[in-house]
Amino acid sequence: METIHRDKIITIGHHPNINTLQGSWNNCETADQYLSGMTHFKEIYYKTKPKNTFWDNRDFNFQLNEGLQTWTNSFFYNQVTKDGFNGKVGVLIGNEILSSISIDNLFNNGNYELKLRFFKDQQIALDWFSKPFSKSNIHHLPEISFKENSNGKIQCLFEVNCEEFHDYFLLLKQLFKNRDFSIKNAEKFYSLTEREREILKLAIHGKCNRKIAEDLFISIETVKTHRKNILFKLGNQNVCELTNFEVFF
């Protein structure tokens, strides 16, 4: 890699053989440091016009809030994609899972779909840039073991192939997302009556009012009333939003 810029916050280099611009975070603990690093990266991006971008986030322990995620896409990825960027985006992550999840959320807030993949091994990441993009799938479930530590906590351990890491990372992200949603919305869900929970479950599974009425032996008007009460209690506007509550079943 040819180093183009280096400071206390970020090192920016270029891999000419794969025409990839790499940003390696050296120290990022505040929003100001993050904004500074991204500003330098954008300036160099437009000077080099790389095919791909690669982020070494092994020392990145800063969790991006929603505002910074939106700003990053408006400031950088939405703009460069609009200007013609159609390459890959690789992210090398460290052990701070919540920081990595905030990075993944960043890309999901963008207006454009990116060819994105997460890695734990740098060489595998660099090799990926030189190959055609393809979406991998999980072909098997790993064996999971548990280890109880002396501090009263339990470690959950499993091994996966490096090539499948991206897919398992997304599964972990969904697990954290579901848990966060269930914690924040448990009180709303348990405010529902038993009948309302029955109807909610059937609605989430795509059943219409008529079918719900037939399954529960009640009138369609009763179903409509229950669904209206469910939306009010859960603070939702439509059935699509109700699907998030599937984590409770």
Q: What is the pLDDT of residues 68-88, one digit of tens each?
A: 999 999 999 889 998 999 999
Please report, rounded to a whole number, the percentage of residues in the chain having pLDDT higher than 90: 58
Which of these CATH numbers, 2.70.150.10, 3.90.1150.10, 1.20.1440.130, 1.10.10.10, describes 190-248? Answer: 1.10.10.10
The helices-and-strands tally (H runs, E runs) of the chain is 10, 8
- Supply 87's token pair: 């390459």
CA distance 47 to 225: 61
Global confidence as pTM: 0.69
Q: What is the pLDDT of residue 231?
A: 93
CA distance 117 to 131: 13
CA distance 178 to 180: 5
CA distance 12 to 127: 19
**Residues 37, 44 contacting (CB under 8 angstroms):** no
Q: What is the pLDDT of residues 201-247, one digit of tens each?
A: 999 988 999 999 999 999 999 999 999 999 999 998 777 888 889 98
CA distance 73 to 242: 28
Q: What is the pLDDT of residue 216?
A: 95
Name the β-bridge partners of 89: 53, 116
Q: What is the pLDDT of residue 132?
A: 85
Superfamily of domain 2-134 in the CATH hierarchy: STAS domain (3.30.750.24)
